[in-house]
Amino acid sequence: MISPIDWAIIIGYILFALGLGIYFSKRAGKDMDEFFISGRNLPWWLAGTSMVATTFAADTPLAVTKLVVEDGIAGNWLWWNLVLSGMLATFLFARLWRRSEIITDVEFTELRYSGPSASFLRGFRALYIGLLNNCITMGWVILAMQKIVVLALNLPDTTSTKVYVVLVCLLIAGIYCALSGFWGVVMTDIVQFGMAMVGSIALAIIAVNKIGGVGVLKEKLVSIYGAENQILNFTPDFSAGKMAIITFGVYLGMLWWASNGVDGSGYIAQRMFAAKNERHTLLATLWFNIAHYTLRPWPWILVALVAMVVYPNLEDPEAGYPMLMLDYLPVGLLGLMLTAFLAAFMSTIDTHLNWGASYLVNDFYKRFFRPEADPQHYVAISRLAVILIMIVAGVTSLFMESITGAWKFLLALNAGIGLVQILRWYWWRINAWSEISAMLAALVASIVVFLLPQTKGEEQFALQMLIIVPFSTVVWVVVTFITAPVSTETLTKFYSKVKPSKIGWMLIAAEIKEESDGTNSQQTYIETGTPALVNWIVGVIFIYSFLFSIGKLLLGFTTIGLSFLLLAIISGFIMYKNLPREKRKQN
């Protein structure tokens, strides 16, 4: 049962968040820059922590619990593979996004492309991502919060209960977001991240100690599930058959580069736009990847392993995490943890409401209906857009059953788009039709493979990707070469402003006279001269070795854990030395 002390902590946080929303409402109401990107004035640690907090929603520990229950620790490769794209965004794209000086990544389409196709793509992506993709993501976050509230309050698991839970949770988050804009989102992210980390670490320590420590935990996992299940392995059991090999191969060889957002677009890009300058943008993205992949997973994984022992053969594996919270946490700490989940929920929902509204207002309403209205008008429309997205997301959540299933569906829905997003920065020949055809091909292929009996179901995810990605890739490559390239004028302006690598842009770069005395922000720091791809490789080694070292040490595999830690220290030092340095001011 939730005690009065726990309720006091929860209600106290709600009042704090609403008060913060009121405090920032005036500042957020100035214009769209303030409402959506905080006036481009965030330091790296604030922007980066906001990225981390946004990806820690109510759904994340529950989804990780299900992955561990079904596939052991190795099941986390469903998202661990994204280390490769995360570090790619850090070293190859973060500063390019900041140089573009736009409000949304969808606005990028008319900076990079030209003509009616670029306008159509901007409007289409605003609706497709701002509503469809965004509401699917918010739907599974709401679904997770439903499960937690139903268990915590011992409510009947009925549709009417879910509707009431959705209404209450969304009203709190929606009112706050509509009031405060991006400033409020970012500031509560800091509080949420601290609470969530303290709560999840405390739960992991208490849960492991309750069953006798890590040694007893490992023994019980073997006695219940058998040694042959290899639950604690960090790589899949390849002896299980060719499907295990294919799935792992898809994760590492395809998923990370094929999916939407490989260049850091979306709500990550929103924080890049909000950072002070290019160096702060890079450091923010780097801090996000370190915290996201190395600091947060292990408390969740340890709790998931304990849940496998305490609640074997649980019908809904995702429920194991909140059940341990309710059974193991003492008064006060339970309130803190439930508040952390509420804060995590609000952080993610507020981000997606604000980010989705930025698409609907900046890239659809303003672009196509009212391009010359005053700033306060756009802020008012932005607040209405927040409410619209909130309603659609709430309805979407009522039709979902599995968080991990929704994860996989959204990955499939955007499969094949990632390569276009990479190349649009590094190859002049990519045009708007490349992106349009990739999105439509992925959408059609996803619907087909999710309906066909031979490829239907979560367990067929790798096979689905092996169909969707090649199909969408072939479609957009063909379309690229049979459609006209972007106008030279647009390409020249884009290259002059963003300055991507000359590789792939030689024809355009040859026509541009390089400025020797420019005042671009990229001239406020000193480059190391190390190629970005080298930094990417070193960064990937650092993240994975640090991730594995923490896990191995926590699970009692000391020798291999220290070996990974040494590799993390070496690669981390090299990465640090390769970071750009700020120029010292001359007296």
Query: Would you state the pLDDT for residue 243?
Result: 60
Higher pLDDT, 579 or 566: 566
User: Across 174-178, 274-278, 567-571, which has the greatest mean pLDDT?
Assistant: 567-571
Question: Would you state the pLDDT for residue 254?
Answer: 79
| CA dist list (Å): 558 to 228, 257, 553 | 22, 33, 5
Q: What is the pLDDT of residue 456?
A: 66
Q: How confident is the model at residue 329 (pLDDT cuts 50, 70, 90)?
A: confident
Residue 521: band (very low, low, confident or very high) from pLDDT cuts 50, 70, 90: very low
Partners of 581 in beta bridges: 526
What tens digit of pLDDT does each residue of 348-390 get? 888 888 888 889 999 999 999 988 888 888 888 888 888 888 8
Looking at residues 471-483, what average pLDDT do you find?
94
* Residue 112 predicted with pLDDT over 90: yes
Considering all CA atoms of the chain, what is the largest pairwise distance in Å, rounded to the nearest integer? 72
pLDDT at 69 over 70: yes
Out of 178-192, 321-335, 520-534, the most confident range is: 321-335
Q: Specify whether the CB–CB gap between 188 and 343 falls below 8 A.
A: yes
- Note the pLDDT tens digit of each residue in 407-441: 666 666 777 788 899 999 999 999 999 999 998 89
Q: How many domains does the chain have?
A: 2
Cβ distance 406 to 252 under 8 Å? no
Report residue 439: phi and psi, to 5°.
-65, -45
Domain of residue 44: give its range.
1-81+98-234+274-402
Residue 477, domain member (yes or no): no
Q: Calculate mean pLDDT across residues 89-94.
A: 92
Q: Is residue 586 part of a domain?
A: no
**Does any domain span residue 547?**
yes
Cβ atoms of 522 and 99 within 8 Å: the answer is yes
State the pTM of this model. 0.84
User: Of 377, 402, 427, which residue sits at a domain end?
Assistant: 402
Lowest-pLDDT range, 63-67, 113-117, 303-307, 525-529?
A: 525-529
Residue 465 token pair: 């990707």
Query: Does a structural domain hold residue 171?
Result: yes
CATH of the domain at 208: 1.20.1730.10
CA 493 from centroid of its chain's CA atoms? 30
- Which pLDDT score is estimated for 299? 93
State the alpha helices, DSSP H only, in 255-294.
256-258, 267-274, 278-290
DSSP 75: G
Query: What integer pLDDT is reported at residue 267 of this predicted model?
Result: 81
Q: How far is CA 83 from the centre of its chain?
A: 11
- What tens digit of pLDDT does each residue of 243-252 get? 667 777 877 8
pLDDT(586) > 60: no
- Joined together, the tokens standing for residue 206 give 């208490």
Neighbouring C-alpha atoms within 13 Å toward the C-beta of 404: 24
Cα–Cα distance measured from residue 283 to residue 261, given in angstroms and rounded to the nearest whole number: 18
> Whole-angstrom Cα distance, residue 565 to residue 568?
5
Mean pLDDT of 170-184: 73
If one compares 474 and 63, the residue with the highest pLDDT of the two is 474
**Residue 520 confidence (pLDDT) above 60:** no
109 falls in which pLDDT band (50, 70, 90)? Answer: very high
For 527-578, what is each residue's pLDDT tens digit? 555 678 889 999 999 999 999 999 999 999 999 999 999 999 999 999 988 8
Flag whether 464 is in a domain: no
What's the confidence (pLDDT) of residue 1?
Answer: 63
On the question of pLDDT at 406 being above 50, the answer is yes
Residue 445 lies in a domain: no
Q: Please report whether residue 166 resides in a domain.
A: yes
- Residue 114 three-state SS: coil
Residue 493 maps to a domain: no
* Burial of 302 from C-beta contacts in 10 A (0-12 / 13-18 / 19+): buried
- Which of 361, 386, 402 is the last residue in one of the domains? 402
What does the pLDDT read at residue 241?
60
Taking 90 as the threshold, does the pLDDT of residue 63 lie above it? no
Q: Write down which residue in 402, 424, 447 finishes a domain.
A: 402
pLDDT tens digits, residue range 218-233? Answer: 999 999 988 777 889 9
Q: Read off the pLDDT of each residue in 231-256 and give the average, rounded to a whole number.
A: 76
Contact criterion met (CB below 8 Å) for 288 and 275? no
Q: How confident is the prediction for the chain on average, in pLDDT? A: 83
The reply to whether 207 and 351 lie within a common domain is: yes
Least confident of 281-295, 523-537, 569-583: 523-537
Render 530-584 in DSSP notation, one character per residue: --HHHHHHHHHHHHHHHHHHHHHHHTT-HHHHHHHHHHHHHHHHHHHHTS-EEPP
Angle (nearest 5°) at CA 142 between 140 and 146: 115
